[in-house]
Structure formats: C-alpha cells, structure tokens
Structure 1
Amino acid sequence: MAVLGAVGGLLAALGLLAFGLYCCYVRYIHAKYDHIPGAPRESFIFGHLPILWRMLRKQEFMHDLFLQWAEKYGPVVRLNAFHRVSLMIVSPEGVKEFLMSPQYSKDPLVYGRVFSIFGERFVGNGLVTVCNHEHWHRQRKIMDPAFNRNYLIGLMETFNEKAEELMTKLEEKADGKTEFSMLTMMSRVTMDIIAKVAFGLELNALSDDQMPLPRAVTVALEGVTKTRIPFIRYMPWKQKLIKEVKESVRLLRRVGKECLDQRREDIRNGKEVTLDILTQILKGDALEETRDDENILDNFVTFFVAGHETTANQLSFTVMALGQHPEILERLQAEVDDVLGAKRDIDYEDLGKLTYLSQVLKESLRLYPPVLGTVRWLEKEHVINGVRIPGNTMLVLSTYIMGRMERYFKAPLTFNPDRFSKDAPKPYYCYFPFSLGPRSCIGQVFAQMEAKVVMAKLLQRFEFQLVPGQSFKLVDAGTIRPLDGVMCKLKPRSCAGSCQA
C-alpha cells in the first residue's frame, strides 16, 4: 500500500508539473499576441471557448458575435483557445494579401477536420480541402475542362429539364394553402442537377421523398459541426448520432465507388462518355503514377456535397429575402416577364439579360453566404494594417462578417440588390462568397447559371408567400442554412409570363 501511495503521489506530482509547464507555455503564447485587440478571455486556459460553447448549446449563431467583435476590435481580431491563437482579418488589405497570393496555404488543422469525421474518411484531400499547393494545382488543372464556358453552355438543357421537374412538383403544392419547406425542394432539385451533369446519375430525388442521399449529405455535414464539441466521441448520448454520421459518409463514398467503377467499365468498352466532372476525375487518375481510389472518391464527395448544398441554400435564402421585400420581388418578376415571356426553355443568352436577377442573387450571397469564408496559414511574421502578426498563425477571413460591416456596406443589414448595379461602386476585397484568388471556387459560374435558371422559372410561374411566425435565424450546419427551412405557400401567377409573350 505504501508503494502504491508513493507511486500515486509521484504521478500526481508529475501531473501538476506537466500542467504547470503547460500553463507557462500558454502564457508564453499569449504574450506573443497580447498586442492584438480582442474580446476579454473568459478563461486563461480555454480562452474564448466557453462563450462559444454556450452559444452552441443554445443553437445561437456565433458568427454574429464575431461580427460584433470585428466592428469593435478590427481590422485584426484575436481569438484564444487553449494554446492556439487565431486571428480574424476584416480588412480589404488583408483579404487581398492573404487570398490573392498562392504563398499562403490553407490551414491543415482546420481542413483536416473534414478529412474524416469520427474516423470515417469524408472529403479527404479533395480539391477544396487539399492544402499542398502543388497537389491542389495539379488537381485544378485536371478539373478545369469540366468548367469551361462551352461545356457549361451545353448544360443548359439539363438545368432546364430538372428545373421543369421542380416546377411540376411545386404546381402540386400551389393551392395557396399547402405549407412546405423551400429548402427541402431546392436541395432535391440541386442534387438531381449535380448528380446528372457531374456524374451521369439519374437520382430523381424530386420524385422520391425517401431517397437516402439527401439525408446522408445533411447528416454528414451535421457531423462536421458536431466535431467542434470537445470529447463528443466519448459521450454515450451522442453515439446514435455518431453512428448515423459514419453510415452517411460510408453511403456517399459507396455511391461514388459505384459511379467510378461503372464509368471505368464504359470507357474500357469503348462507350462514348461525356466530359463531365467524373470523366475529368478519372483523367486525373490516369495521369498519376499510382491509382488511388480513395483520393478519387475524395473529389467525388467534394463535388457532390458542395455542388448541391451551397446552391440550394443560396436559392432558399433568396426566396426568404424576396418574401420579405415585395417591392423587389415585383421588380424582379417584371424583368423575368420582359426577358422570358412564356418561354419554358431558358437559353444561355437569356441569362445575361436577367441583370436584376444577377443583382438579387449577389445581394443574397452578401447577407447569407452558404460558405462563411476561408482560413489561411501564415508561416512567417507579417504586418497588415499596422498590426504585427506572428508567424505560424491561423488567419480567418469571413465574407459573412465583412459583408455585414457598416464600414464596407451602407445599411449593411438592408437587402438592397442595387448595391450590385453596374453603376454602383464595386466591393473590392470585402465580398468573396466564392473566395478569391487562385483557390476561388471552380464551380461558381456553374452554380450561378443553375441558380438563375431555377429562380427565373420560379418567378415566372408562381406567387409565393412566407408562412408567418418563422424566426429567419441562421444555423451553421457545415454550410449556412435557414433554421426554419423557409416555409412557403404558393399560388400560380395569373399570367405566368404569358402576359408578356
């Protein structure tokens, strides 16, 4: 017993020593950053984390708190968590410096969190998450042909076809009484579109409410957000969720594997295949010295998830904003009637004429960007806006925060599409919903073409009304979504475009 007591005492002493040394290390790190403004830390060890954990438990949108801090402490704002200090950069100079140059890589720690979820490989080293610049550049060059202008113009037929299927489904609900989630409907149509144009899949998510893939994406992204909770993997009451997340990730990758195997077989058998994303992924695989199916699947999951989730959210937020601003809706429908009349098939040339719709979609992205922003890793000390930033620091750049700051946008919380008219001053380096620079989103033109077709048809056919009593709150679910799902009621438009035909 005496020996056990002595061992226990020794271990306790070693534990206290280790904790003491860790505290000294934390203090050393603090000293490197204490010259940078930031909100008061709630805890020496946990820094600002207790504030954020409370907000997570209450389902509060923490980025609005970051916005308050940016307004008060910017242009560089300190965020403490344990021995790590991150910095929010909320100045156009900082955004230009850190996003326009390839020398600042993405932060491996942050993007490593979506490499796998609870031990299941999720997006791995796909085009969005890969941090090594050479590896990224090689992948991007391979993918570029699937997003060139001529190929995208050829997708208009599919955009029209799937958007028409959505209109048919909405007609069934357009009695002025039926309440439904616009987010759900938009998620299904954008999933059908990305599945067909990117991977040659006919999912029919619009027709089949029980399709497992839409739920798998939702659950997987929920898993991404839940990984922020400390020790969640060891909480017994969270095991059901963790199991569902892992099963959802496995399903997404299994579907990807089946697509890849089928396409390889078609190529081997000499069948004609389209120059879609899947073909480009396989071309890239052929250029590599060794075949790596896991890396190929990384890009499948990346494009499948990002290619529908973000556009569905943007469309839903746009409907939400228009439902709150009838004068903007009326002006927008007048433009759609003028450009399209009663046309059912929208041409590529029509998209360029829908200028006010472009402004509305951009303003929706300013206030409600589905992707909040991005992060970069600063290896060497740097000075921005007169603030000295130590090396080996994570930098957070948020289009959500900068898009809502008074110093960059007058009356920033007002939905005003005229901010993006051709005569308005351009918001340089404070508006970047698709990021900026070499790592900007490869699919942004694709996404906005798709969004225009779907919105134009919706505006052409229906009058919509938001169901009263919604909170209009935002939720961070891996992407930014409307918490209530944008509950709507529809009625057919009396002229449905024909009055201008």
Structure 2
Amino acid sequence: MKVPPGPKGREAFGFFGGGSFAGTLEFLQRTARRYGPISSFRLLHKRIYLVDDADLVRDILVTQQHKFERDSGAGLLRELVGDALITREEPQHRDRRRVLQPAFHRDQVASYAQIMTAEAARLAEEWQPLETIDVRDQMRRLTLAIVGAALFGADFRESAAQVADVLRRVASKSRWLAPAFAFIEPAAALYRRLFPNGRSLFFESERKQLDRIVAPIVDRRHGSGTKDVVSLLLNTRDPADEPLSARAVQNEVVTFVLAGHETTATALTWTWFLLARNRHVATRLGEELHRVLAMDRPPTLEDVPELKYTGLVFQEAMRLYPPALAFARRAKEAVQLAGYTIPRHASVFLSPYVTQRNPKYFPNPEEFIPERWLEHQQPPKFAYFPFGGGAKMCIGEPFARLEGVLALATLARKWELECIDDDPVGLGTGLLLNPDRPILMRIRSRSTQVFQQSSPQPYTIEVQ
C-alpha cells in the first residue's frame, strides 16, 4: 500500500522529542516542512500520519469526522479527568454536550462578561508599580477565579495553590507520558477495567486532590435551583433515566476547572510575553484602550466590538502559541485522504502549532503581527484551529475568546508588563503549550500622556 513520505529509522524517533514537548514540536514542524501536506513515519509497530494542510484538517475534523475517534491524547486526559465530555466518543459525547451547551450559549456567555471584568479589575488593583510577578502564575489565578465564579458560583481563589500544585505534578509526569502514551495506553485501559470506580494508573494522587477541591462545590449545588454547569449535570438523567453518578458529575467539574482556566491562562501568558517583546504592538494596543476606555474605566460587554485590535492581539498570540500542541485522531475504518489510504486504527496528528506557522498561510510566520488578520486575503478557515473543529470543537471557545479580550483590556488599560531579562523562553511540558520556565515580568503604570496628545479620531490600523 502506498504511504505518504516521511522520516525513517532513527530519524522517526525524533517524535519523542528527547523527553520534551519542544523537541516533539520541532520534529513535527521539520517533518511537515520537508515532506509536505501529509507525511508519515513508523514507530515500532505503529504508523503515524502528520497532516499540515487546511483542507485536510477540515476533512478530518469536519467532513469525515465520523470516521475518526480521539487517539492517545484523550487517553492521557482520561487518566486525569476520567470519563468526561473532553474524552468521550459518539454518541455519548453528543449527549453530554447537549446537556452542557446551555452554559456556553452566546447569551449565557455574554452574561459572564461582568464577572470576567470584575475579577481582572480585582487583580489590577493588587498589582503594584515596579513589582516583579510570575505572569503565568498570575494568569492562572485570574482565570481560575473567573471559571469558579462564572461556571460554578464558587470562589476558587483559596484553591489556586492546590490546583497549581496538581498542574506542576501533571506537567512533570507528562514529560515522558505524553509522547509514549500511544504505546502504554492499553495498560492504562486495562487498569481502568480492573478498577472501574474512577481509578487512574498514572494520576491517582492528582485526581484525589482535585476531587477534594470540587466535591464541596457539587454538594452545595444539590437542590440549589441555580443554572450553572453543576446544576445542569445534577438535573441530567442517563439513558436508564437515572441521575448521573457523583463520579460522573465530578469528572465534568474537574474537566472545566482544569481546561476552563488553564487554556486561557496559557494564551494570556504568551500574549503578555509577546507584547513585551514587541513594543510597537503594545503601543497600538494602548492607543486603542485609550480611545475606547479613556483609560479610566474597565471594559464592558458593549465595548468588545470596539476593542478590535485587542482581539487581534489575543488571536495572533494563539496563532503562535496555541494552547493545544496537537489533536490526535484514530481512524475507525480505512479513510481516503489526499490520495492515500489511511488504514483502520492508524494515528493521525493535526498540530495547530505546525499549521499556524506554515508560511503558505501566514507570511513571516514566526513574527507577531496582529494586523495580518485585517488583510483582505485571509487564510483558509482550518489554517487556524486553536480550539479544534467539528463536533468535538472545544465547547468553551466563545467563553475563552471573550475572557481573553476582557481580561487583557482590563489589565492593559492600567498596566504594562516588561520582561526582566532577554533570555529566550522555550516550550515546556504539561497538557498544554506552556513556557519552559516562569516568565518574570516587571509591572509599570501605563503612561497616558502620549495618547492624550494624539488625535481624537477613532484608532485605525494600517494594513501591511
């Protein structure tokens, strides 16, 4: 059978990245650039396919999505969060998504805007001029507080240190688990069958710690009459017309606590870093904030359409550093793709990091250029897919986009952050694309003098 070209022999083992996500991403990017839109390589008994083409990404995530299921990445997540929306397959995934969708409907997400701004404003008041902060830690605290208040009506600020501890331990284990999980997943699946009550072969202690954090939230919601995520789950009946088990409810809550805050925190962390390294972008951002907010009030939901450049800054940061390094799919049957037959059970990797840096779609792909999104000739839809696509697209995508814009605008209207050094920042380990070290930044008050001297005309962006 004809197979796509790709690295062979020892070169293919570059997929494991020498124990680092950065190494894996470098291998995937190098392979895609050398071999084209679809490539493949063999590791032990498995052939892995890599796709770097917007049309093929659409084909897998949308057109032929019914022929694929989640691959080993979902298995690793299942070790941490159990059987939940983010790990389920059809039709169970569709049924659970319908239950949770009301919490992420456009109007409902809009109702969270005040919470997002209030929590960001609270953090802005805590910051002090010339103080040095770990921006990743600060963004995690912020987004955890937002998720807790918006989705669960809970105050997670006192739990931030515990959640951060869990994430550190997960990142440490993922250093070796993530690249190799496709080969050890059968052992994890066997362990779950032998111990079906939520046991995890690799993350048992982390799961227990997360359960202790979320259990009180679930208990308080019994009979509360509220319409948050927990209440939606508690009012759900399974196919046998029985309420969901406590384990099933806790799995979903843990998922939203982790994925719901860490995704946006990661994106905001990289956004602040990129702004500090690209001062001209930070200046343009400040000009827009001064025009829209006059630097004297936090943003509201009604301001979002006017905060266009703020949104482009956040969007461009997620192009360069999408939270998820890859989406893996496993073929449920033989699939025709770009003239090749992808056999049943084969693994297919789609990497936002790789495709979103493809010069075919994004000129000067390594540069941080928010203005690129204003050009008349836009890249195909699936050249940019930080939240996935199709039926399994991240349910929290509208929440994360709104949160990113409002949090950035609220903080940046008052403060600028500058890196305390010029040392390079690499890619670390974990379930998401985090930096490989703390990003220490110095807080400075945003100067409004230059903006006050500028024209009162609406801010415009020159298309380059």
Give the TM bin, normalised by the shorter chain: 0.7 to 0.9
Q: Which residue of 2 aligns with 1:328?
A: 281
1:396 aligns with 2:349: yes
| Residue among 74, 83, 87 paired with 1:125 | 83
Q: Which residue of 1 aligns with 2:74?
A: 111
Identity of aligned residues (%): 23
Q: Which residue of 1 aligns with 2:45?
A: 83
Asked if the contact 1:76–1:87 (Cα under 8 Å) also holds between the matched residues in 2, the reply is yes
1:376 aligns with 2:329: yes
Q: TM-score, normalised by structure 1?
A: 0.81
What's the CA shift string for 1:43-99, capped at 9, x where partnerless?
xxxx833x3446216x74320221011011121111322211111111122111110
Q: Which residue of 1 aligns with 2:228?
A: 276
The 1-side partners of 2:286 and 2:325 are apart by 29
Alpha carbons of structure 1 residues 478 and 110: separation in structure 2 relative to 1, 3 Å:
closer
The 1-side partners of 2:102 and 2:162 are apart by 31
The 1-side partners of 2:240 and 2:449 are apart by 52
| Residue among 40, 49, 59 paired with 1:97 | 59
Q: TM-score, normalised by structure 2?
A: 0.87
- Offset at residue 245 of structure 1 (A): 5.0
Q: Which residue of 2 aligns with 1:217?
A: 167
1:58-457 aligned within 5 A: 60-101=22-63, 102-116=65-79, 122-131=80-89, 133-171=90-128, 174-175=129-130, 178-205=131-158, 211-228=161-178, 246-264=204-222, 267=223, 271-273=224-226, 275-285=227-237, 289-290=241-242, 291-421=244-374, 423-457=376-410
The 2-side partners of 1:201 and 1:404 are apart by 38
What's the CA shift string for 1:158-215, capped at 9, x where partnerless?
11221011102222xx22xx3321111001111111111111211225xx87x32222
- Between structure 1 and structure 2, the one with the greater Rg is 1
The 1-side partners of 2:102 and 2:72 are apart by 31
Asked if the contact 2:123–2:142 (Cα under 8 Å) also holds between the matched residues in 1, the reply is yes
Asked if the contact 1:464–1:489 (Cα under 8 Å) also holds between the matched residues in 2, the reply is yes
Asked if the contact 1:93–1:385 (Cα under 8 Å) also holds between the matched residues in 2, the reply is no
- Offset at residue 460 of structure 1 (A): 0.7
Alpha carbons of structure 1 residues 182 and 53: separation in structure 2 relative to 1, 3 Å:
same
Asked if the contact 2:114–2:301 (Cα under 8 Å) also holds between the matched residues in 1, the reply is no
Q: How many residues align?
A: 437
Q: Which residue of 2 aligns with 1:40?
A: 8
What's the CA shift string for 1:401-430, capped at 9, x where partnerless?
001112221111111111211634243221
Asked if the contact 2:7–2:31 (Cα under 8 Å) also holds between the matched residues in 1, the reply is yes
CA RMSD of aligned residues (A): 2.8
The 2-side partners of 1:160 and 1:493 are apart by 18
The 2-side partners of 1:497 and 1:212 are apart by 42
The 1-side partners of 2:375 and 2:136 are apart by 30
The 2-side partners of 1:229 and 1:333 are apart by 41
The 2-side partners of 1:146 and 1:391 are apart by 36
Asked if the contact 2:419–2:439 (Cα under 8 Å) also holds between the matched residues in 1, the reply is yes
What's the CA shift string for 1:426-476, capped at 9, x where partnerless?
432211001111111111111111111111022211122111132221123
The 2-side partners of 1:71 and 1:321 are apart by 25
The 1-side partners of 2:449 and 2:406 are apart by 16
Q: Helix, strand or coil: the match of 2:42?
A: strand
Asked if the contact 1:434–1:440 (Cα under 8 Å) also holds between the matched residues in 2, the reply is yes
Q: Helix, strand or coil: the match of 1:103?
A: helix
Structure 2 unmatched ranges of 5 or more: 185-199, 457-464
**Amino acid in structure 1 at the alignment position of 2:246:** D
**Amino acid in structure 1 at the alignment position of 2:168:** T
Structure 1 unmatched ranges of 5 or more: 1-31, 117-121, 233-241
Alpha carbons of structure 1 residues 76 and 463: separation in structure 2 relative to 1, 3 Å:
same
The 1-side partners of 2:270 and 2:317 are apart by 7
Asked if the contact 1:318–1:361 (Cα under 8 Å) also holds between the matched residues in 2, the reply is yes
Asked if the contact 1:180–1:489 (Cα under 8 Å) also holds between the matched residues in 2, the reply is yes
What's the CA shift string for 1:309-364, capped at 9, x where partnerless?
01001001011111111111101110011011134342111011111111111111
The 2-side partners of 1:100 and 1:476 are apart by 29
